[in-house]
């Protein structure tokens, strides 16, 4: 049953990519694209109901690799709808994205963690008369992917995960893992744990989960840099996923879309609730729906509950923010930033998230995101 659900998720994600590609081909091949204006006075694209407004030229952005698969879809659809506009999102890491934003080299940055106070202070130099703010745009589960020949279903809890990633549990047939997987034939094989090599919001969110749900076993601060000794490093979510797929005995963490697109098995999480919870968009949405806004003013940073025991709520979640200036955005890219983010936060953009293995932002919070985008200056 679990394998069937994963195959269905993978097919849906691939279908979303196919739809996106079809939109691009339709826009390029059509002789009548008069409704798509791309910098032509605020008309709406006939191709996909995207409001292009005065968008024009090139918009550079960079950051979180967690949202790469969502951003690829958004960029293709947006550029198909708004001719004459080029959006270039460089998937690197949250840390690199924020650095680029505060240096003024990108119109917005993607980050899986809200700006720190010192990063907000730094942003004021670039956002003339304003500051950087966090706009939650993409939600989803951080999947714990594994590759263990002969084991198709695996359940772990927070203390066991913490000990695995801290190098305290070294074998797959360890009694702690066996206790959570009664009846499974676990091999006497070394665990190969993979983590991100660069500063990563995904790493930080995993750290927040482990610190909250297993405080006795995970003593590290939740930072973007991987804190524990040992393990093996790989670049980006794509790099970690590639290693897990290739190496028998491997375990790692990355966004669900990387698992579904590469048919990587994922761990069910024992939260202490009625039953272990699978990493799915729907289950992540149940956890994210309980998020509270902790930001002030126009900042919409969220507080997530990593210790939830709610039925069917997958606790290892992240929210990716698009980081922009509330005031002081560059005049040459402001219209394009607002137009593009209006699309990603709109009904059409958010619907694509579920199809691609992510979770939409809860409606009440998303309404505030749209309000804030409209007020950017």
Taking the chain (377 residues) in runs of 10, the rounded mean pLDDT of each run is 45 40 31 35 55 95 94 96 96 94 97 95 96 97 97 97 98 98 96 95 95 98 95 95 98 94 97 96 93 95 95 96 97 97 96 88 95 98
Residue with tokens 């690799």: 65
Contact 141, 280 (CB under 8 A): yes
Closest CA to 348 of 117, 73, 156: 73
Instruction: Please tell me the distance from the alpha carbon of residue 257 to that of residue 355, in angstroms, as a whole number.
Output: 10
Residue 377: which residues within 8 A CB-CB, separation 6 or more? 130, 326, 327, 328, 329, 334
Tell me the two tokens of residue 327: 């005031």
Residue 108 belongs to what H/E stretch?
strand 108-111
β-bridge pairing 302-303 and 85-91? unpaired
Contact 98, 119 (CB under 8 A): yes
> What are the angstrom distances between the C-alpha of 145 and each of 140, 165, 169, 259?
15, 13, 17, 7
Instruction: Please tell me the distance from the alpha carbon of residue 346 to that of residue 353, in angstroms, as a whole number.
Output: 11
Tell me the two tokens of residue 205: 């969110």
Model-level pTM greater than 0.85?
no
> What are the angstrom distances between the C-alpha of 269 and each of 277, 280, 303, 311?
5, 11, 21, 12
pLDDT of residue 14: 41
pLDDT of residue 2: 52
What backbone phi and psi angles, to 5 degrees, belong to 198?
A: -110, 170
β-bridge pairing 265-266 and 132-147? antiparallel
What backbone phi and psi angles, to 5 degrees, belong to 97?
A: -65, -45
Residue 267: which residues within 8 A CB-CB, separation 6 or more? 143, 144, 145, 146, 154, 155, 156, 161, 251, 279
pLDDT of residue 354: 85
Q: What do you get for the CA distance between the two ends of the chain, in Å? A: 50
Tell me the two tokens of residue 27: 């826009």
Residue with tokens 């691009």: 24
Average pLDDT, the chain: 88
Instruction: Please tell me the distance from the alpha carbon of residue 294 to that of residue 303, in angstroms, as a whole number.
Output: 6
Instruction: Please tell me the distance from the alpha carbon of residue 215 to that of residue 177, in angstroms, as a whole number.
Output: 19
Residue 149: which residues within 8 A CB-CB, separation 6 or more? 187, 248
Instruction: Please tell me the distance from the alpha carbon of residue 374 to that of residue 337, in angstroms, as a whole number.
Output: 10
Residue 35: which residues within 8 A CB-CB, separation 6 or more? 43, 44, 45, 46, 47
């Amino acid at each position: 049953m679990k394998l069937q659900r994963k195959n269905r998720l993978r097919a849906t994600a691939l279908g979303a990519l196919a739809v996106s590609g079809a939109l691009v081909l339709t826009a390029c091949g059509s002789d009548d694209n008069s409704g798509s204006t791309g910098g032509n006075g605020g008309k709406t694209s006939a191709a996909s109901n995207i409001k292009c407004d005065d968008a024009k030229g090139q918009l550079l952005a960079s950051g979180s690799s967690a949202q790469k698969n969502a951003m690829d879809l958004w960029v293709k659809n947006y550029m198909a709808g708004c001719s004459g506009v080029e959006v270039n999102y460089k998937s690197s890491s949250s840390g690199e994205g924020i650095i680029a934003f505060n240096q003024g080299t990108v119109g917005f940055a993607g980050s899986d963690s809200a700006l720190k106070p010192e990063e907000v202070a730094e942003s004021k130099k670039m956002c003339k008369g304003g500051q950087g703010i966090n706009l939650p745009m993409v939600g989803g589960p951080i999947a714990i992917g594994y590759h263990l020949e002969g084991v198709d279903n695996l359940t772990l809890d927070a203390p066991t995960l913490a000990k695995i990633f801290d190098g305290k549990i070294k074998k797959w047939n360890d009694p702690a893992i066996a206790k959570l997987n009664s009846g499974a034939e676990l091999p006497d094989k070394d665990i190969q744990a993979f983590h991100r090599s660069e500063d990563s919001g995904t790493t930080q969110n995993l750290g927040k989960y482990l610190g909250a749900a297993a405080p006795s076993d995970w003593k590290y601060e939740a930072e973007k840099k991987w804190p524990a000794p040992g393990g093996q490093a790989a670049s980006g979510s794509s790099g970690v996923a590639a290693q897990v797929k290739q190496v028998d005995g491997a375990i790692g963490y990355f966004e669900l879309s990387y698992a579904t697109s590469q048919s990587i098995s994922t761990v069910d999480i024992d939260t202490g609730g009625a039953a272990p919870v699978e990493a799915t968009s729907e289950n992540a949405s149940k956890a994210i729906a309980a998020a509270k806004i902790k930001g002030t003013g126009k900042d919409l940073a969220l507080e997530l509950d990593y210790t939830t025991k709610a039925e069917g709520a997958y606790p290892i979640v992240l929210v990716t923010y698009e980081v922009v200036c509330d005031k002081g955005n560059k005049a040459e890219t402001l219209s394009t930033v607002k137009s593009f983010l209006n699309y990603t936060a709109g009904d059409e953009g958010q619907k694509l998230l579920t199809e691609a293995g992510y979770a939409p932002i809860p409606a009440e919070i998303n309404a505030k995101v749209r309000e804030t985008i409209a007020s950017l200056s």
